[in-house]
Amino acid sequence: MTTPYFDKHRDKLDAAVAASASREFYSAYDESPSPRVYGESAAGEGKAAFEAWQGRAFPLQTPGSDGTVSTERSPFGFELGVTYPRAHDVDALLTVAQTGMKAWRDAGPEARVGVGIEILDRLHQRVFELANAVQHTSGQAFVMAFQAGGAHALDRALEAIAYAWVEMTRTPRTAVWEKPGKVPLTMEKTFTVVPRGVALVVGCNTFPTWNSWPGLFASLVTGNAVVVKPHPSAVLPLAITVQVCQEVLAEAGFDRNLVTLAAEDPADKLASTLAVRPEVKLIDFTGGNAFGDWLEQHATQAVVFTEKAGVNTVVIDSTDAFGAMCANLAFSFALYTGQMCTAPQNVYLPASGIETDEGLKTPAEVAAGIGAAFDKLLGDDARAVELLGGVVNDGVLSRLGAAASQGEVYVASRTVTHPSYPDATVRTPTLIGLTAADSDVYESECFGPVAYLIATAGTDESIRLFRSTVLAHGAMTASVYSTRNDVVEQMREAALDAGVALSENLLGGVFVNQSAAYSDFHGTGANPAATASYTDGAYVASRFRIVQSRRHI
Amino acid sequence: MTTPYFDKHRDKLDAAVAASASREFYSAYDESPSPRVYGESAAGEGKAAFEAWQGRAFPLQTPGSDGTVSTERSPFGFELGVTYPRAHDVDALLTVAQTGMKAWRDAGPEARVGVGIEILDRLHQRVFELANAVQHTSGQAFVMAFQAGGAHALDRALEAIAYAWVEMTRTPRTAVWEKPGKVPLTMEKTFTVVPRGVALVVGCNTFPTWNSWPGLFASLVTGNAVVVKPHPSAVLPLAITVQVCQEVLAEAGFDRNLVTLAAEDPADKLASTLAVRPEVKLIDFTGGNAFGDWLEQHATQAVVFTEKAGVNTVVIDSTDAFGAMCANLAFSFALYTGQMCTAPQNVYLPASGIETDEGLKTPAEVAAGIGAAFDKLLGDDARAVELLGGVVNDGVLSRLGAAASQGEVYVASRTVTHPSYPDATVRTPTLIGLTAADSDVYESECFGPVAYLIATAGTDESIRLFRSTVLAHGAMTASVYSTRNDVVEQMREAALDAGVALSENLLGGVFVNQSAAYSDFHGTGANPAATASYTDGAYVASRFRIVQSRRHI
């Protein structure tokens, strides 16, 4: 079998494998949407391609579909009006999904990985179109949609493919086994990677590509068929994804229905129907705790990878760069209106204040420092919207509204007017002052632009609360600010105990809510917020099995 | 931290890692119980050590225990009379089990792997004692108990440690990440392997060490505490195991209760209590389908590795070595009285007969050929018992009794008198003739010395039945005899579809029910008989998580 795509992409694969092992910097897809990188016409053409989908039927066929759905409205204030086949007959869908699996299995790891990376290349060619699609479904500002929804998502996908490649090829295709003895025994053995079955990918509203692609590509290149069930509010980025997957699969001679789109009306509850089907052996889910927990408990016929919600924490003990700390935190709170599973929420700091290069700062003064950083970052509406993006749904707005009554409003949320999209809902973050006694408030996730400054009896209590809150409720991220080595050490220890990644004294262009593919693990799987990590061995190893045969020679 | 045990065993570890990657022959523990290998006194001393336990209280302390249990009777016809602490207070047990986990985690992979292999070395020093303990709990004959229960089990344990080592060290301890740009961003990152929690190992009666050690050591060296819940009829081999684990852990400065024994009265149903405790994050189970399926469905807080039962299959199409084929099959049926999860049960062959070097052979003639091989292997009682061992429990005996009414008795079971243990229950296998219509009989496992010769319309139907039976009911092994390449190819294809390992035309000293550590995977996890495979990446990767921290430099 020739594997032209594999040969074409071999260098990129090798580089991704090497970076995943060294954890050094690597990126295969430029994160800058600049015309100097992508050419003068790329941005305009991508936007036009996105706009051309509006009001149209997306040209995908879903086996067993019945009618269409059109469920997307841009958080920037307009209906997308794209229609998709409405998945209906699950028997038919799963039967057709499996049709091409044998040929896909028999093609082997090289062919599958080659096709996988070729898909990424084609998606990269449409990265501006995808960025627009992500922007107008998630509410991310354009540059973030380009980066997180495009370039970084491609890197996370390539990372997953690289891990899958390593895992599939750590066992040789054939081996000769010779047992010494009076009569030596010699056997030839053949080892074949076989898929688990149908993989279900359940997408989310806020990161339709970044959170779906790792699981999608890890399952696909290990030989499984993939049914993509997008969030009804963020279908287009995954419809484009499935379209590209099908295009490359068909060109390579495989069944295009190895990847299918299962769009639905929100009332259809399609994910829960699909998740417990015996054909479905792998599930990747990003979303809320209720359904994630349900999947873990009920989809016992499948291996379930979930990324749910948690309570992301900052412990502030002291700093020698108060201004830079406030600026860094302000950026993390503001980025995409705090609508990231990695955005910090709980800031524990001593009621008596923290020592800084600008003197002792009480919680109110820390809040004021962050507030001043907000003013600088978000004071100008036109600049603010490029960081904040839009509010993704009414739930965020209502939590923001309720936050003011939860404690002392240190910094109030401000309504921002989008210069280009006057109907967009844009809000700046609010900072609410609480005490350690307010655990009923701060021990659950308040998804959106709400951060709590929680006054504690001191850093010891801050660390204690950090540990207990994360152990009980999970977290995707944690960070600490301290000039004292012993405090940083205690936090490292607590982070190991609680099973959450720790960022220490971030002051510059690295933010706690961002993780770099090939180097930073996203999620740990070691606390209640997630059972999966992008990407480690556990994320790929269960997606296939090895079946051997042996014979005398 | 110094890691003397790691340094001591580094060569062995490296050899095991290399063999697991090449799948070539390797063994670290000599499988021959010969005095030339182990010394003149080893066998006698081991037997004496075993006998010294009889009627005594085994010197282990189980946290939270209450009273003792004594539940073992040798299948060779005598009570062992060893008493063990009866696990009682599960809260106390799990609390104490976790006490040492932090220091064990912080010691790092080198220290843990060093301790793990040192434990194997100490178990190896007691291999004759262990062989006697395995013999007189499982009913295996001595040489098999020495090999499968001793040397091969040690190899499987080392293999699991080797896989865990590779998996833990594929991420570096530290890395420097530098993102280029106008202002380059530079971060130092630390990656730490953290355990999942408490691991529960549920042992079985027939292979108390071979089936328990891989999971035990994979969980232990990845940082978890391990609670070993032995089968009430096979406690001693695992009590010795736990004793050695505790001895080495304590010598290395760790908490001995990182490995504990949870013995029980059969009525205590301790495994189901432990399995759903929130502290328990990993479960390794070997045993029947009912409890295995229950675990998979109910212990959703844990990663569950099961090895249950299936219907192991032989498809006979043709052979150019009829006598050798019959001898090979006869050995596989007889070995340990068919009480292996890998023993063949269903033999599909054309009703019209198979072509052989001795002419066309009808099913009755094939049965006669295997029967003649039985006569040779098992005709002499003194020799027979060394292959058959003893019947492990009354269930086996009653299934054997019922088999005669299921079809045509081609070969009847014979009662063998053990020359040394007159009270032992020893039986030769029976061969029962069925037709393809008797699916109600042959589609479920008949654990014990019962094999079915199932007459089909031809090899096409044989392969079709093989595929459908394994897909529906699972299998640990499969084999084929055919002189035709196209038939072997069809069987390979069917084995890939059904997810079961295939042995082709075994004639000599390799048997379908035996798998070699480092080379053959035991189980695939790809069919209903098991969710685990000894040992692949999926078997170890989920037993720990990586928690990182990062900081500017």
Distance CA B537, CA B17 (A): 12
The answer on pLDDT for B73 being more than 80 is yes
Distance CA A422, CA A415 (A): 12
Q: Are A211 and A203 in contact (CB under 8 A)?
A: yes
Inter-chain CB proximity B550 and A492 less than 8 Å: no
> Which residue bears the tokens 């005095």?
B35
Q: Which of A545, A552, A553 to mutate to test the interface with B (most CBs of B within 10 A)?
A: A545
Q: Are A109 and A168 in contact (CB under 8 A)?
A: yes
Residues of chain B positioned with their CB less than 8 A from the CB of A525: 545
Phi-psi region of B95 (alpha: psi -120 to 50; beta: other; left: phi over 0): alpha
What is the ipTM score, two decimals?
0.97
Q: In residues, how long is chain B?
A: 553
Distance CA B279, CA B490 (A): 47
Model confidence at A253, pLDDT cuts 50, 70, 90, reads very high
List pLDDT tens digits, range A298-349: 999 999 999 998 999 999 999 999 999 999 999 999 999 999 999 999 999 9
Å from A473 to nearest chain B CA?
Answer: 14
Residues of chain B positioned with their CB less than 8 A from the CB of A300: 296-297, 300
Helices (H), A42-192: 42-53, 90-99, 101-125, 127-138, 142-146, 152-169
pLDDT at B1: 58
Inter-chain CB proximity B506 and A542 less than 8 Å: no
What's A320's DSSP letter? S
Beta carbons within 10 angstroms of residue B423's beta carbon: 11
What six digits make up the tokens of B426?
A: 């020893």
Choose the closest CB to B194 out of A499, A505, A542.
A499
Residues of chain A positioned with their CB less than 8 A from the CB of B510: 185, 187, 550, 552
What's A306's DSSP letter? E
Q: Could you give the C-alpha distances from A219 to A104, A214, A242, A304, in angstroms and in order?
A: 12, 8, 14, 12
Beta carbons within 10 angstroms of residue A429's beta carbon: 28
Q: Which of B24, B177, B304, B531 to mutate to test the interface with A (most CBs of A within 10 A)?
A: B177
List pLDDT tens digits, range B312-366: 999 999 999 999 999 999 999 999 999 999 999 999 999 999 999 999 999 999 9
Secondary structure, 3-state, B382-417: HHHHHHHCCCCCHHHHHHHHHHCCCCEEEECCCEEC
- Find the distance separating the first CA and the last CA of chain A, reported in whole Å: 25
Residue of A nearest to B472 (CA): A278
Pairing of strands A450-456, B544-552: unpaired
What's B87's DSSP letter? P
Distance CA B303, CA A50 (A): 43
Residues of chain B positioned with their CB less than 8 A from the CB of A194: 496, 499, 524, 526
> Which residue bears the tokens 């001693």?
B236
Helices (H), A448-484: 459-473
Distance CA B214, CA B221 (A): 11
Mean pLDDT over residues A480-502, rounded? 98
List pLDDT tens digits, range B247-259: 999 999 999 999 9
List pLDDT tens digits, range A408-419: 999 999 999 999
Phi-psi region of A397 (alpha: psi -120 to 50; beta: other; left: phi over 0): alpha
Q: Could you give the C-alpha distances from B108 to B16, B222, B223, B250, B255, in angstroms and in order?
A: 20, 9, 8, 16, 15
List pLDDT tens digits, range A134-176: 999 999 999 999 999 999 999 999 999 999 999 999 999 999 9
Model confidence at A3, pLDDT cuts 50, 70, 90, reads confident
pLDDT at A1: 58
One-letter amino acid at A366 equals V
Choose the closest CB to B549 out of A183, A300, A502.
A502
Give the list of residues 6+ apart from residue B463 with CB closer than 8 angstroms, or none. Answer: B315, B348, B487, B490, B491, B494
